[in-house]
Amino acid sequence: MGRKTMEEEEALNDFALKLVMKIMDSVTSHFTAMRTHVGSLQRLTHGEFTQETGLNHINELLKMWNHNSDCVHYTEFQGIKDLGDTFLYLYCAYWSMPTAQIPVPKVETSVDFTIKFNKSKPPEAPVDIYYKMDHQSLIQK
């Protein structure tokens, strides 16, 4: 393969930037919608919580987003942090927009989810769920 010309590099960079911006706009604009619709999803309690039910709950939350139909996502469990009286269950949802030209996207964005399981709370108490967008420091609850 030959070396890319400056124009080809600029065109590729422009395409990648537009793609990232489209994904970010789509995902970000629906965080507000998610907050509105979350009331219809039953809260996950300490008694019901497992690593798998946490993953399923996050996927149910993501279904409520009115995201661009071109966006696809997958969610995976990242690990557990033991803080003594609390476990933090870490998950990540990866979003991308595959196309016919680029079926395996080189650009994606993610949403990090943390489910806080407090060992001293009763089984009927809801777990706390926090999330933040890729590379942002603002944590939403």
Q: What is the DSSP string of 83-112?
A: -SSEEEEEEEEEEE---SS-SS-S--EEEE
pLDDT of residue 38 exceeding 60, the answer is no
Please, which pLDDT band fits residue 133 given cuts at 50, 70 and 90? confident
Mark residue 97 as left, alpha or beta (left: phi above 0; alpha: psi -120 to 50; beta: remaining): beta
Q: Rounded distance, CA 116 to CA 72, Å? A: 26
Span 101-115, pLDDT tens digits = 767 766 677 889 999
Q: For residue 69, which of 30, 26, 35 has the smallest C-alpha distance? A: 26
The pTM of this model reads 0.66
Bridge partner residues of 132 (DSSP): 112
Span 112-126, pLDDT tens digits = 999 999 999 999 999
Q: For residue 54, which of 84, 83, 16, 93 has the smallest C-alpha distance? A: 93
Q: Rounded distance, CA 73 to CA 4, Å? A: 31
53 residue type, one letter:
T
- What is the DSSP code (8-state) at residue 74? E
Span 39-73, pLDDT tens digits = 556 889 999 999 999 999 998 888 876 566 677 78
What pLDDT is attached to residue 11?
83
77 residue type, one letter:
F
